Homo-oligomer: A and B are copies of this chain.
């Protein structure tokens, strides 16, 4: 067993032009009032790796062009379809009007697990919230459902970019299973 060389990895990957046009996974991400430029940049990079359909930045979430985002995103700002929507309520209703199921990623009293998404629910949009306060209650109420990453430790919270990565890659993993 040996690590792949840089050249072998380059051979496998998409060009930015292919990535924007390619058959992306039916999973988009929506961010509500994420404050940190570095978290936004990191989420761009994760969305690229997962071939997420789209990244929708809402409220006071910073958006490109910002050099701190681009530095952390390592080029993913050009390969991930994204847009800025000031009003998250409008953004959620627009996704729903397109037939996309909108799922809050949040700890709620329903405790539905993040690995319980069924084939029929796709396409989906995962909504994640602010670093300190999570999603607004009003936003959760607009979503079609909520899923949570189980928390086993002392702090009961993850960095928002980590939580997004875990939820997004699980949604992709489930989707790839349905494709088989």
Contacts and interface: CB of A to CB of B under 8 A. Distances in A.
A163 to B, nearest CB: 8
Contact of A1 (B42, B109, B151, B161): B109
A158 interface: yes
Contacts of A146: 1
A18 B154 CA distance: 9
A150 B45 CA distance: 14
A49 B152 contact: yes
Interface stretch (A62-70, A87-95, A119-127, A134-142): A134-142
A3 B134 CA distance: 9
Given A1-B110, A166-B165, A46 B158 contact: yes
Interface residues of A, number: 63
Given A48-B153, A153-B51, A166-B165, A107 B13 contact: no
A2 interface: yes
B48 A154 contact: yes
B1 A76 contact: no
Contacts of A14: 152-154
A159 B1 contact: no
A158 B166 CA distance: 12
Complex A-B, nearest 5 residue pairs according to Cβ-Cβ distance, in ascending order: A51-B152, A48-B153, A162-B165, A79-B154, A13-B156
